[in-house]
Amino acid sequence: MGKSDDPVEAARVLAISTWRRDFERDPDLRRQVHDQEVGKFLASLKEEFGRIPANLHDEHALSASDDWKTLVLTEGQPQAELVRCLIDTSNPGFLYFQYRWGLEEESKEEVRLARQGKDAYAWYQGGTALHFSAVARLCLVQLCKHANSIIAAEVSFNPGVGIE
């Protein structure tokens, strides 16, 4: 008997769908849970952020605004901005990451909050569930990837170096 023929699995899927629907219909609950989950994300972001400077090149610096909603990776003396990440938490149930570099280039990422059960929530990107710590790592990896693409574009030969 496959999963699609299992009544227990069918009941579990029905319960999750119902929790998700109820979460989407209740803006007060969505705001309350969003604020809690954003708090967890920001705490994890601060922790992950603290691990990065020791691994950067001597000329790179990473900074964050007081509210942790703007991250900037710079290079050189004086510091020139390589990449900026703006984190938008204003829409309950969503996180938006906007990466900017150069004069006009940018990239946007969206992560959505969904209910998994009575008191269980997860962030989703592209159909994949992510723990709040994975969302923090995703944000910082993308920041470094965009900076790496700028540096790599300035190098004519860069064997075996890069972020996949």
Q: What is the pLDDT of residues 116-158, one digit of tens each?
A: 888 899 999 998 999 999 999 999 999 999 999 888 888 866 6
**Is 159 within a domain?**
no
Q: What is the spatial distance between Cα 154 and Cα 149, in angstroms, rounded to a whole number? A: 9
**Is 31 within a domain?**
yes
Dihedral, CA of residue 50, residue 80, residue 71 and residue 48, to nearest 10: -20
> What integer pLDDT is reported at residue 151 of this predicted model?
87
> What integer pLDDT is reported at residue 158 of this predicted model?
61
**Is 107 within a domain?**
yes
> What integer pLDDT is reported at residue 5 of this predicted model?
87
Structural domain total, the chain: 1
**Is 122 within a domain?**
yes
Quickly list DSSP for 117-145: ETTEEEEEETTEEE-HHHHHHHHHHHHHH
**Is 75 within a domain?**
yes
Flag whether pLDDT at 159 surpasses 80: no
Q: What is the spatial distance between Cα 61 and Cα 2, in angstroms, rounded to a whole number? A: 53
**Is 158 within a domain?**
no
**Is 164 within a domain?**
no
> What integer pLDDT is reported at residue 164 of this predicted model?
53
Sign for the CA dihedral angle at 40, 44, 47, 52 comes to negative
> What integer pLDDT is reported at residue 40 of this predicted model?
97
> What integer pLDDT is reported at residue 161 of this predicted model?
59
For 117, the domain range is 3-153
The answer to whether 54 and 61 have CB atoms below 8 angstroms apart is: no
**Is 163 within a domain?**
no
The answer to whether 44 and 136 have CB atoms below 8 angstroms apart is: yes
pLDDT in tens, 64-105: 999 999 999 999 888 899 999 999 999 999 999 999 997 778
Chain-centroid distance of CA 70 in Å reads 13
